[in-house]
Structure 1
Amino acid sequence: MVTTTALARTAALVGDPARAGMLAVLMDGRALTAAELARAAGVTPQTASGHLAQLTEAGLLTVARQGRHRYHRLASPAVARMLEGVMAVAAEPGPDPVPSPRTRPPGPRDAALREARTCYDHLAGRLAVAMADALVAQGAVELGADGGAVTPAGEVFLRGLGVDLAASSSGRRVFCRPCLDWSERRPHIAGALGAALLATCLDRGWLRRTEGSRAVAVTPGGRLALRQAFGYGQACACGDP
Structure 2
Amino acid sequence: MQPQPSVAAAAFLIADPARAAMLTALVDGRARPAGELAYAAGVTAQTASSHLAKLLDGGLLAVETEGRHRYYRLAGPQVAEALESLAAIGPGEVRRRPLSPLARRLKFARCCYDHLAGQVGVAVAEGLKRRGYLAAAPDKRFEVTPAGAAWSAAQGLAVDRLKATRKGLARQCLDWTEREHHLAGPLGVALLSHGCARGWFRRSPSSRAVEITPAGWAVLRQELGVDTWSLPTAA
TM-score interval, normalised by the smaller of the two chains: 0.7 to 0.9
Which residue number corresponds to residue 14 of structure 2? 14
Q: Secondary structure, in 3 states, of the residue corresponding to 2:59?
A: coil
Question: Retained in 2: the 8 A contact 1:108–1:183?
Answer: no
After TM superposition, the score normalised by the length of structure 2 is 0.88
Provide the C-alpha distance between the structure 1 equivalents of 2:37 and 2:160, rounded to a whole number of angstroms: 35
Moved more, 7-16 or 159-168: 159-168
Name the amino acid aligned to 2:153: R
Shift of 1:58: 0.5
Residue 163 of structure 1 is matched in structure 2 by 157
Q: How far did residue 28 of structure 1 move?
A: 0.5
TM-score, normalised via structure 1 length: 0.86
CA distance in 2: counterparts of 1:136 and 1:129, whole angstroms = 11
2:203–2:209 Cα contact (<8 Å) kept: yes
Displacement after TM superposition at 1:169 (Å): 2.7
2:55 is paired with a residue whose SS is helix
Q: Give 3-state SS (helix, strand or coil) of 1:27's partner.
A: coil
Counterparts of 1:74-223 in structure 2, within 5 Å, are 74-90=74-90, 92-93=91-92, 96=94, 103-104=95-96, 110-145=103-138, 146-170=140-164, 172=166, 174-223=168-217
Q: CA deviation at 1:93?
A: 2.3
Question: Structure 2: which 5+ residue stretches go unaligned?
Answer: none
Q: How far apart, CA to CA, are the structure 1 residues paired with 2:137 and 2:206? A: 34
- What is the letter of the counterpart of residue 176 of structure 1? A
Distance 1:149 1:169, change over 3 A: farther
Question: Does structure 2 retain, via aligned residues, the 8 Å contact 1:59–1:75?
Answer: yes
Q: % of aligned pairs identical?
A: 45
Letter in 1 for 2:39: R
The count of residues paired between Structure 1 and Structure 2 equals 230
CA distance in structure 2 between the partners assigned to 1:10 and 1:174 by the alignment: 25
Query: 2:227 pairs with 229, 233, 240, which one?
Result: 233
For residues 160-200 of structure 1, the C-alpha deviation after alignment (integer angstroms, 9 at most, x for no partner) is: 21224244335556321112222222211111111111111
Please say which of residues 229-238 and 173-182 is displaced more in the overlay.
229-238
Could you tell me which amino acid in structure 1 is paired with residue 202 of structure 2? R
Deviations 1:91-141 (A, max 9, x none): x326x5xxxxxx549x99822111111111111111111111111111111
Distance 1:69 1:136 in 2: 44
1:37–1:234 Cα change, 3 Å: closer
Secondary structure at 2:63's aligned position in 1? strand
In the aligned structure 1, how far is the partner of 2:229 from the partner of 2:145?
A: 24
2:132–2:148 CA contact under 8 A, matched in 1: yes
**C-alpha RMSD of matched pairs (Å):** 2.5
What per-residue deviation string (whole Å, max 9, x for no partner) do you get for residues 53-77 of structure 1?
1000000001112222211111122
3-state secondary structure, aligned to 1:143: strand
In the alignment, what sits opposite 2:67? 67
Is the contact between residue 149 and residue 158 of structure 2 (CA under 8 Å) also seen in structure 1? no
CA contact (8 A) 1:26 1:32 kept: yes
Moved over 3 A (4+): 2-6, 170-174
Distance of aligned partners of 1:104 and 1:12 in 2 relative to their CA distance in 1, 3 Å threshold: same
CA distance in 1, matches of 2:146, 2:19: 44
Describe the SS at the equivalent of 2:26.
Answer: helix
| Unaligned segments of structure 1, at least 5 residues | 97-102
